[in-house]
Structure 1
């Protein structure tokens, strides 16, 4: 079985709450990607995909190393810089994350197209830094407008509004994001935080607890960056 199939199967296990199977498939995928780079030390896909697996397994130093190797092999690939930015954001290095996301965007623009998710990343990091806010909101709006499935982009914009103290618009975006994708743990968590802030504590606490069960890492990504009741 290929590493890609194991990765996607792991994500299905995650959505189903099957945590043991999720971790098992991730580790197996990582082993296959390791075999790829052993067989071909210039394998961009091997290093990048192994980095994705390492990040999900919370081996962040290993993930950063693999992203850097992938970027060195394929200088025109934005994805490793985006992956690096996500880890730096998670660690609270928002300036470093902003630089990584902006670099990914510059590379992506050379191909005349930018992933809506990258617009959302650039929005979120500006919200966390509380700087260049007007531009940050424009990135979030572009992400929502250009996404075929906008749940993640709506979550990013909800986070942006929350960090600006606009609780009503944050709550609306989080609620819409959950409607678009009931498996979006970060959106469910955001909806819960907003509910608690709006005085609906029992409802909000239930949402937050369910979100942590679904995907603790996605919840922590935002909780550690200021999204808290």
Structure 2
């Protein structure tokens, strides 16, 4: 469900030079004026008067063609400018930028390098070459050029912006956020910086800050398609379907062929049971041109959802949703209940899991409808994002009565310590685990300040996905690396529930959701089922569904002086 948009902005920096020709003063003024309606005609008259020898007029006319997206004519004019004056540094830069816009990366780098040889103090040429190097996958040279541009002009916002994109592409969102914040300090009206900073906030689990940035980007760029889509993506993850639908409609109003917005809107329609509309959007996404870096994600997701709609099991979703809506209220309307729900499916270095993202969405939707005030749903989190999400949740838990964390994905136990596995984990040896994964203690700490109930639910007892590739280090040879998770003894007032007993494995099952998630959601809806009893029933249901191959287990204790209900009795 997450929209993995990596934004690419190439910037033209056309600088006009006017020759001192009093007889053509009006044409020179217009030819040097970017965006003037008569600019191309004025430049053409100057070129004709000069007998085709006016390099500046060719350069300015090429700039106007470039602004209009006519890169063939732009490149032709820039080529004439450098033929007439081979030392015309700006014309080399402009042709390099136009070639980059046509994805002719090697030729772009050659032209921009020549421009820098002729004028080493032009930050625009350095910034453009940095983008070309980034497009070629040479991040070190790209970073060097951005740094050089900033040394020349410490207030050059575009180099900060592109440096931020480079860091974000590497997953270093802390640095990316700092770069985008510097752009905003320099130019508070630059909407793209708010949009991209919002993406980094989103990818680190800071959804409220992300929403604020996307909203500001929309205010500054009302005709944007990207920020509407990105904000709608968060609404979709939060189950706020009306707001999500409005944002995706606005995104598509600005660009009817934005593939990610089409797919995201299709998923909203799917959630609402409007299957025909969902199909139409998914098919439209597959037919649309691939204009954005999110195109591959969008096409893969569209194919996935169309295949799922062909599965008869999808027909049960609207009925299930309707049955949840009819629930009675929670046991105490004064309780402040919050939840963090995480589903990791798209693992990068081991096989992906089919169900966790779907399980998380189902659990989150049910929690909202059983009276939880705040439910944060996040999927496919890298380590920095998972850590940031837990940090944010810990702050919320300080003023909550209930704090619940549900995690579906890979988990493992090493040396008696349980870990949740982010999607970007690379674990080649047992020594890597503490650096690449998130210890269960961090999850417990995130919920510990809640006043009445701390509940941790882990559908993470699958087989260790790194077992066949992990090396045992000599110094750590005594560490055990077992199946499933290890037993735990949480403090009083905390209940930890495993989808499978310690040392045993949980199953994904053959349906759209795991046996544990299905049993948990079905029993969570039942009025008057006290939480301790609830997980006893979940255990029985899972054992029956798996022919006793999987046995959920609860650890810890809660106060015997009060009862806890997801849904109160009549």
| TM-score, with structure 2 as normaliser | 0.31
Q: Which residue of 2 aligns with 1:20?
A: none
Whether the 8 Å contact between 1:154 and 1:177 is mirrored in structure 2 is yes
Report the alpha carbon displacement of residue 195 of structure 1 after superposing the two structures with TM.
Answer: 1.8
Counterpart CA distance in 1 for 2:234 and 2:141 is 30
Counterpart CA distance in 1 for 2:176 and 2:297 is 16
Which one of the candidate residues 230, 236, 239 is aligned to 1:162? 236
1:180 matched to 2:180:
no
Report the alpha carbon displacement of residue 214 of structure 1 after superposing the two structures with TM.
Answer: 2.2
Q: Which residue of 2 aligns with 1:49?
A: 131
Where 1:78 maps in the other structure, the secondary structure is: helix
Counterpart CA distance in 2 for 1:209 and 1:119 is 31
Report the alpha carbon displacement of residue 192 of structure 1 after superposing the two structures with TM.
Answer: 1.8
Counterpart CA distance in 1 for 2:178 and 2:244 is 28
1:108 matched to 2:201:
no
Where 2:186 maps in the other structure, the secondary structure is: coil
Report the alpha carbon displacement of residue 147 of structure 1 after superposing the two structures with TM.
Answer: 0.7
Normalized per residue, the structure richer in helix is 1
Counterpart CA distance in 2 for 1:200 and 1:219 is 24
Which digits, 9 at most, give the CA deviation of each residue in 1:128-158, with x for residues without a partner?
A: 3323x32222111111111142322111111
Report the alpha carbon displacement of residue 34 of structure 1 after superposing the two structures with TM.
Answer: 1.5
Where 1:165 maps in the other structure, the secondary structure is: coil
Task: Give the 3 Å change call, closer, same or farther, for CA 109–130 of structure 1 in structure 2.
Answer: closer
Which one of the candidate residues 82, 85, 98 is aligned to 1:5? 98
Task: Give the 3 Å change call, closer, same or farther, for CA 208–45 of structure 1 in structure 2.
Answer: same
Which one of the candidate residues 247, 254, 273 is aligned to 1:199? 273
Counterpart CA distance in 1 for 2:205 and 2:176 is 16
Report the alpha carbon displacement of residue 191 of structure 1 after superposing the two structures with TM.
Answer: 1.4
Report the alpha carbon displacement of residue 170 of structure 1 after superposing the two structures with TM.
Answer: 1.2
Which one of the candidate residues 83, 87, 91 is aligned to 2:165? 83
Report the alpha carbon displacement of residue 204 of structure 1 after superposing the two structures with TM.
Answer: 2.0
Q: Which residue of 2 aligns with 1:218?
A: 294
Whether the 8 Å contact between 2:257 and 2:289 is mirrored in structure 1 is yes
Counterpart CA distance in 2 for 1:5 and 1:168 is 41
Please, what is the CA RMSD of the aligned residues? 2.9
Where 1:207 maps in the other structure, the secondary structure is: helix
Aligned residues: 194
Report the alpha carbon displacement of residue 200 of structure 1 after superposing the two structures with TM.
Answer: 2.4
Q: Which residue of 2 aligns with 1:34?
A: 109
Give 1:88-167 correspondences, 5 Å limit.
Answer: 88=170, 93=171, 96=172, 98-131=173-206, 133-167=207-241
1:74 matched to 2:149:
yes
Whether the 8 Å contact between 1:67 and 1:80 is mirrored in structure 2 is no
5+ residue gaps, structure 1: 9-24
Whether the 8 Å contact between 2:112 and 2:128 is mirrored in structure 1 is yes
| TM-score, with structure 1 as normaliser | 0.70
Normalized per residue, the structure richer in strand is 2
Counterpart CA distance in 2 for 1:84 and 1:115 is 18
Counterpart CA distance in 2 for 1:49 and 1:184 is 23
Whether the 8 Å contact between 1:186 and 1:219 is mirrored in structure 2 is yes
Counterpart CA distance in 1 for 2:141 and 2:263 is 30
5+ residue gaps, structure 2: 1-74, 76-94, 302-345, 347-377, 381-570
Q: Which has the larger radius of gyration?
A: 2
**Which has the bigger relative contact order, CA under 8 A and spacing at least 6?**
1
